[in-house]
Amino acid sequence: MLLASIYPMPSLQNPTRQRLIHTALELFASQGVTTTTTKQIAEAAGVNEVTLFRHFGSKHGLLLAVIEEAAVFTQLGQTLVQQANQTGNIYQALKDYATACLHALDRVPEVVRSVVGEAGQFPAENRAALGRGFTQANHYVAEYFQTVIDRGQLHSYLTAEKLASLLNGMLLGYAVIEFTSEFHELWQDREDFLENLVTLFLHGAVSPTSLLPPLTTPAIQKATNLTPAVEKVADLSTDLVHKILRQTKNLGLQDYALTYVLFGAGLSATEMTRLERSHYFHDAHQQYLQITGDRERQVPINQWILGKRYGSYLRNPLTQWLKSRKDNQTALFLNSQGQPLSEPELRQQWQLWTEGLLTPEGRSPAIEQAQQTWCVEMVMRGMSLEDLSILTGWDQASLQPFANRAREKAALEAALRLDQKGG
């Protein structure tokens, strides 16, 4: 493989020096630093060993040049900063960056193994160069985080530099584990790791709203085999929900259908994007969805959402959307290119639907709050936690906060009714 094409280096005035660095990188990548000899590098580069020593002094001097001039992570960091000006979707930007980092490390597995196992043998200047490389890469990632924080897209519990350090540390840790042992059972595959990494990162260290409870996303539930550990339920007000539904009705049939299902069936963003046309069943007396994945179950779609009826079983926002379809796609919801809607795209749509709307706490509504709102509404309308557990796939203990929140709302409504009766 030609690593020079993977890691473009700065133009060097001395072509012999450049050729030696390119050759060393290729050999270090294929067989490790310790195993590679200066004689092998010189022969592969078409020069004598004396020439190598004249330029770099030693193999570690050559390694120092490779570290400083290959600058792979710096380039990846610069790419992430550019993405900050091209997309408002931090989930996708972070996943793309993490994927690119691991893809780059895939090209140099022996270098990773050598750095892990042999760094203690490197001269201090080499270790210092590694440190400078990591620090510079971290700076660019931190710059990206600071950009989205300043735009108000994130509520951060840590500084931008600390956020970047955590992300890069986790990526490097993954590479070390993957390249040194294939016998672990820490994750199913790379996609599983990346999905959980970005989800945990966005819902642990940062989030679009500080109201999101910990461990509420499907990716984290899947990774930890936990049901949502909701400490504080953040359901949306009746007025706000109906405003969101009104806004989406004006945006188009699919937007209206999406919000109708979100608030009418209590699904997560991940479950929404997995829906197929064949998963929807309805007749004059009922309508429900077949949910696939880790928690297979059937879930009804309510006609009534927080006191207002949105159509009938035969004619409602979802049936109207499906009736308008002229495509052959099996997915229930599509993006602007007519392909199955992805979770990041759904989250972008949510931001559009809720633009200009704020919760009583002064924050933008989060898509996870639709599911919480549905759970509270079901309890308020008399559903037992046992039945709600069947519909959600969560254990009853994890649903207790929703019961507590329903009692709070019931008590408030009771107090208001008493006040309306007068003295």
288-341 pLDDT, tens digit each: 999 987 678 999 999 999 999 999 999 999 999 999 999 999 999 999 899 999
Q: Domain boundary residue among 161, 191, 207?
A: 207
Helix (H, G, I), strand (E, B) or coil at 347: helix
Structure tokens at 31: 């067989």
pLDDT classification of 18: cutoffs 50, 70, 90: confident
Residue range(s) defining the domain that contains residue 78 = 3-207
Q: What is the pLDDT of residue 203?
A: 65
In a domain, 220, yes or no: no
CATH number at residue 338: 1.10.443.10
pLDDT, average across residues 219-230: 44
Residue 204, pLDDT above cutoff 90: no
Lowest mean pLDDT among 10-19, 52-61, 324-333, 373-382: 10-19
d(CA 69, CA 62): 11
Whether residues 111 and 47 share a domain: the answer is yes
Q: What is the pLDDT of residue 113?
A: 63
Q: What is the pLDDT of residue 328?
A: 93
Is 133 within 8 Å of 67 (Cβ atoms)? yes
Provide the sign of the torsion angle of the four alpha carbons 11, 13, 19, 21, taken in this order. Answer: negative
C-alpha atoms less than 13 angstroms from C-alpha of 395 in its C-beta half-sphere: 7
Lowest mean pLDDT among 136-140, 216-220, 328-332: 216-220
Residue 215, pLDDT above cutoff 70: no
Q: Can you give the pTM of this predicted structure?
A: 0.51
Residue 376, pLDDT above cutoff 90: yes
pLDDT classification of 418: cutoffs 50, 70, 90: confident
Whether residues 253 and 375 share a domain: the answer is yes
In a domain, 105, yes or no: yes
Whether residues 168 and 38 share a domain: the answer is yes
Split into its structural domains, the chain has a count of 2
User: Which is higher by pLDDT, 220 or 143?
Assistant: 143
pLDDT classification of 14: cutoffs 50, 70, 90: confident
Helix locations, 119-189, DSSP H = 124-150, 160-180
Whether residues 412 and 266 share a domain: the answer is yes
Torsion of CA 181, 183, 188, 192, to 10 degrees: -10
pLDDT (tens digit per residue) in 87-96: 556 666 677 7
In a domain, 214, yes or no: no
Percent of the chain with pLDDT over 90: 39
In a domain, 219, yes or no: no
pLDDT, average across residues 105-125: 64
Q: What is the pLDDT of residue 98?
A: 79
Is 94 within 8 Å of 111 (Cβ atoms)? no
d(CA 63, CA 84): 33
Residue 278, pLDDT above cutoff 90: yes
In a domain, 183, yes or no: yes
In a domain, 185, yes or no: yes
Nearest to 196 by CA among 108, 109, 95: 95
